[in-house]
Amino acid sequence: MHKRRLRFTIATFILAAVTLAFAATTLVGAPTLLIWTISIAATEYGHLFALAAGFLGLVVLFVAPLPLRNVPRILASWIFFISAGLLISPAIESGSAAKQLSRWVETPHFSFREAFFPTREEPVPFKRIEFQRPDQSPGLIYFYPAQVPAGTAAPVVIVVHGGSWKSGDPLQLPELNSVLARRGYAVASVDYRLLPEAKWPTQKNDVLAAIQYLRDHATDYAIDPSRLVLLGRSAGGQIAETVALDPPEELKLAIVGCIAFYSPADMSFAYQFGREDDLASTRPLLREYLGGTPESSPKTYREASGYDFVDPTSPPVLLMHGRHDNLVWFKQSLRLTEEIQKIRGTVYFLDLPWATHGFDYNIHGPSGQLSTQAVLGFLKKVF
């Protein structure tokens, strides 16, 4: 009996330690890609795991047959309770973070009910459209028609996927696309050629070709070609920012806004503070993408940086970033915000203290709820 209780005690403390290590990823940026994935689960689904951790704490405190009734039982239970507190903290912090949205969202809020019992809506069916890229190769657009009365020309959100310019596809994180389409915005999620074959500015040119195709076929898709917003995530945000902040002449009036999730706005800044062996392999990746270093290819780095094209004619911009992002430094969005504010441009910034890269993976979680409200509020402002 003594050996059985000892084994149970050891197993309980191992489980408690693992739970605490998992919960601790809500506090710091991830040092590895594996821990980054775990940290998304801990921060954006943490409210669910908090219930499990709290339940285990109660079981250990009142039920589990641990020896030395007071010391091991209380210690193990408190480890579970502390873990539960860490895991629920992003949801609790969301209440304060939602206040940032009051500038452009009518009733910003975080809903625990939505987090625990998410509303399930049918996805809006999309159309797969092929178009020709500048090199005559086939490109793809996944088009979500706006749910509006027949005969209405809907504004368009052009979505550019992430993936470090070497992976990803237009079906990435599709839930927001359906949310937008149900609220009257057409969504065109576009692809672009990837590394290692395609270097900058191929990606920007591919997105511009997709936009031109949609404008040329505006009547076919019931869209308003004079009301466009770019939305990009991570690497796609860099492309979206350059299209919106440095557009060709014919798009300057048509692009009325830009939305960027956790994106690098200044490529020279990214190279300067990146490392050869950091989480994103920043320096090797940028050398591959831009064909050199900021010293050897300064013009290319400038042309790939939306930060360098901010001026009084720039459209309104919405930026969202998590402070625990170790793939794209939080200061990228902070610096772009400050640069736009210097010229008294219109910029909205959602600062998520607990969040990491890819924080909108769970659209019903703390970051997902707030970022969705931020996007909807922004679109209401600019359209």
DSSP code at position 135: T
Domain boundary among 92, 124, 155: 92
pLDDT on residue 318: 98
pLDDT on residue 66: 56
Q: Which of 103, 254, 127, 104 is nearest to 189 (CA)?
A: 127
Residue 65 banded pLDDT, cuts 50, 70, 90: low
Same domain, 39 and 113: no
Same domain, 137 and 276: yes
Q: Which of 194, 201, 189 is nearest to 134 (CA)?
A: 201
List the Cα angle 64/66/68 in 5-degree steps.
145
CB-neighbour burial class of residue 275 (10 A; exposed 0-12, middle 13-18, buried 19+) = exposed
pLDDT on residue 68: 47
Same domain, 19 and 86: yes
Tokens encoding 285: 């990746």
Q: Tell me phi and psi for residue 155, to 5 degrees.
A: -65, 160
Tokens encoding 69: 């009734």
CATH (domain of 346)? 3.40.50.1820
End-to-end CA distance of the chain: 71
Same domain, 15 and 128: no
Establish whether the linkage from the previous residue to 312 is cis, with ω within 30° of 0. Answer: no
Lowest mean pLDDT among 63-77, 294-308, 316-330: 63-77
Same domain, 47 and 174: no
Cα–Cα distance measured from residue 328 to residue 345, given in angstroms and rounded to the nearest whole number: 24
Distance of CA 239 to the CA centre of its chain: 14
Same domain, 214 and 75: no
Whether the pLDDT of residue 1 is over 70: the answer is no
Share of the chain above pLDDT 70, in %: 98
Q: Domain containing 131: what range?
A: 101-382
* Overall average pLDDT of the 87-93 stretch: 98
DSSP lists the bridge partners of residue 255 as: 228
State the total domains in the chain: 2
Same domain, 147 and 117: yes
Domain boundary among 92, 109, 132: 92
Domain boundary among 42, 58, 92: 92
pLDDT on residue 62: 82
* Overall average pLDDT of the 126-154 stretch: 95
Lowest mean pLDDT among 66-70, 227-231, 250-254: 66-70
